[in-house]
Amino acid sequence: MPELPEVETVRRGLAPVMEGGVITQADVNREGLRWPFPPDMAARLTGQRVERLRRRSKYILADLGSGETLLIHLGMSGRMLVSGDPLGVFAHDHPAAQKHDHVVFHMENGARITFNDPRRFGAMDLMQTATAADHKLLAVLGPEPLSNDFHEAILVNAFKGRNTPVKSALLDQRIVAGLGNIYVCEALFRAGISPKRKAGRIATARVSALVPIIRQVLSDAIDAGGSSLRDFRQADGELGYFQHSFDVYGREGAPCRRGGCGGNITRIVQSGRSTFYCPVCQR
């Protein structure tokens, strides 16, 4: 499932053709994906100007001139692909319709944005912009890791007294929003912290040091266009490249890249998910 860097990469790719643009026609080709689409979604989107395109955690939010906000979640295999861009950013002509093109936005500037989702775990919803933060999917989220709301004191306080492994704590979206399996593994490696260590038993200084490390891992991934493991594509159809920089994720049995370590990357399962780490230098 795309994590924060992949969603932010898609948002940045969509912004040049969607932000400030008008949706002249919205085609909705099925009743819903993970859950039903909101009533009259096509009619409520058609003719609306996209005032702002933003991201919250792993969701893309399009604020519309109508006072509503379109919430988009890519799910496991969802892609938002741009074609026919008059700005010259995208070189792709409009492709023929595909089987899993579930929602298509025709923009006034000639661009077309297609939401394609073979597995149909993606989602869209409409809500009032003024109360968007109260939406059931957004109200439970913790601070954005790249914002000023995420800082050392916040994480130290969140970890205090927790008996869960630090890997599980960082995946808890109520503690910090948008982190997923890949980037938690990578951040813990850079911090030298074992994913098995109990969150509440990590020294305050080490917890505080995690904050800038998390930010740097996410920033590095965004700069590389995210990570393409299976289905992820950027808005122009290109792959992300951060997977070539993984220190631990997916490297089971490979030598640790930390100089002088001498260990090998190990995979364990935590809460049903694969965790990759170096048992020698992550303590």
Query: Known catalytic residues?
Result: 2-3, 58, 273
Phi, psi of 82 (to 5 degrees): -100, 135
Which residues sit opposite 54 in a β-bridge? 61
Angle, CA of 187, 189 and 190, to the nearest 5°: 65
Nearest-angstrom CA–CA distance, 278 and 189: 7
Report DSSP letters for 170-200, one per residue. Answer: HH-TTTSSS--HHHHHHHHHHHT--TTSBGG
Q: What are phi and psi of 91, to 5 degrees?
A: -95, 10
User: Would you mind telling me the total number of residues written for the chain in this entry?
Assistant: 283
Structure tokens at 182: 């890949």
SS3 122: coil
Contact 282, 193 (CB under 8 A): yes
Q: How far is Cα 231 from Cα 100, in angstroms, rounded to an integer? A: 13
Q: Are 87 and 16 in contact (CB under 8 A)?
A: yes
Pairing mode, strands 59-64 and 50-56: antiparallel
The number of C-alpha atoms within 13 Å of 243 and in the hemisphere containing its C-beta is 12
Tokens of 157: 């306080």
Contact 186, 277 (CB under 8 A): no
Do the beta carbons of residue 69 and residue 41 sit within 8 Å?
A: no
